[in-house]
Structures are given as structure tokens and as C-alpha cells.
Amino acid sequence: MSEIQMMTECFKENSAADAKFNPDVLGTEKALLWNEVETGRIEPLTNLLSWAGGAVDTGCSITIVKQVYQSDKNGNTRKDGYRLKFIITRKDKATIDRIYKILDCKGHINPVTVNGVKNSLYQLQYDGKHAHDAIERVAPFLFRKRVHAFFVDQFWKDCKMGQRPGKKGWGPGVIELRKRYMEYLKWLNSK
């Protein structure tokens, strides 16, 4: 019996009542994550997401940033854009790696440098759609940042994020709404 088959059988025995995380529904890779670091046993995805939610809740930044474009060599200019950023900062790189694996979204892990000197801090950065996906996965397990997560979801829907503007571009209402969301989230982060 292969390792995947043993993991699947063990999972079915331990949580047969939890159909939402049944490997037959989600696929073995998504329903289970192998906990190699601590115990070598299988854990349901909800346990790992709740752990990640606690770790993220204490050391993350959810923000909307204004992206300013310079004019090209022909003098053409683009309108400013607004991007969602989700940044998790931790001292332990192993913790950052584990959060990255659990959230299963495209992001970047970078060492933090202050005044040109590398500290013992690491950042996991998500941007745009990947930030929205990562926040959405961990949102049910957040406490301090739960309002931020709800707010980001509203921002994504109301401001047509992840959609193309078309030939005429976004109307002034969408741009103004994005700006207001950015300012409100900035205010929310200051509290």
C-alpha cells in the first residue's frame, strides 16, 4: 500500500463524518496536508488553516496601495491603479514556509532588510488576486483582522478588482470608490 493510500485510509477512518474534507470530494492533495515538521501524522485542512489563522492574525498587514505609473517615452500616461497587498511577517522562516504551504497561493518569501542590513525577519507577500485568495482561505479563522478580511472581500466585489476595464477604461465612479476603500482601510489599520 502506497503512502498516499495509507494517508487516505487513515483520514477516512478518523473523520468519516466530515464530508466537506473527504479526499474523494476534494482530491487527496487538497484534503490533506502532511505534517512533517512535528508529528508525521495527517491533519485535516481545517486544523492547519486554523493554526495559520492564529499565526497570521498576530503578524500581518492587509492593505490597499496606490500604484502610480510614469508616462512612457511617447508621453502616454496610464491612470493610477490600486492593488491589494497581504504581508505576513515572522522571525522564524520555518513558520513562514509552513504558512505558505498551508495557504497554497502564489506569493513571495523575502528576508527583511532595514537600512541595508538583513534582520532575522521574513515576509510572505501576496499581491492582487493571490492576496484576495489567501485572505479568503484564512478569513474564517481570524479574530483581530476579521473586519479587515470582510472589508477586503467587499472591496474586491464593489471595485471590480480582477476584471479588465475595457476599451473606455474604468469610469470615475470605480476609481473614486477604490480610493475611498484605500483610505478607509488605512484608517482601519491605524486603530
Q: Which domains does the chain have, with CATH numbers?
A: 3-51 (no CATH), 59-190 (3.10.28.10)
Residue 35: strand pairing partners: 41
pLDDT score, position 42? 54
Name, in order, each residue with C-beta under 8 angstroms of 109's C-beta and a sequence gap of 6 or more: 93, 96, 97, 100, 122, 123, 124, 125
pLDDT digits (tens, 9 = 90+) for 146-190: 889 998 889 998 888 888 877 777 777 888 888 888 998 888 888
Q: Three cell numbers at 85?
A: 497587498
Q: What is the mean pLDDT of residues 42-59?
A: 79
pLDDT digits (tens, 9 = 90+) for 110-128: 888 877 777 788 999 999 9
pLDDT digits (tens, 9 = 90+) for 13-46: 444 333 333 334 334 444 344 444 445 555 667 7
* Cα–Cα nearest to 32, from 19, 17, 16, 45: 45
Residue 181 has φ and ψ, to the nearest 5°, of -60, -40
The answer to whether 64 and 85 are in contact (CB under 8 A) is: yes
Is 1 a residue whose pLDDT tops 80?
no
The residue with greater pLDDT, 146 or 80, is 146
pLDDT score, position 31? 39
